[in-house]
Amino acid sequence: MPESVPPSTALAADLLGLLVCPLTRSPLTQDGDHLVATQPAGAGLRYPIRDGIPVMLIDEALLPEGVTDLDAFKAKYAGVLPAAE
């Protein structure tokens, strides 16, 4: 675990290995009390961990700096998002 993750909020490596961003489908890394999507590089959505439980709802994710809403995120990163099913 990175040093920025307090032991009380650290997720088990096997659980973290199973989770992906529900929008980008990219792997996640843990940064403190958030899970961060690895794609798009440097601008991944940040999902909160509340009471030790990852909240993997797109509407609950924190957007990267400079992106005002989810539609703007989708438009800005359309080239790296998987096609909708």
More confident residue, 26 or 5: 26
pLDDT, tens digit, 9 for 90 and up, residues 16-47: 888 999 999 999 999 999 999 999 998 999 99
Q: Is the pLDDT of residue 6 over 60?
A: no
- Record the tokens describing residue 1, joined without a space: 């675990």
- pLDDT band, very low/low/confident/very high, at 1 (cuts 50, 70, 90): very low
Which of 68, 57, 2, 66 has the alpha carbon at shortest distance from 32? 2
d(CA 54, CA 32): 12
Strand order in the sheet with 34-37: 28-31, 34-37, 46-50, 53-54
- Record the tokens describing residue 84, joined without a space: 């909708």
Task: Spell out the domain ranges in the chain.
Answer: 13-76
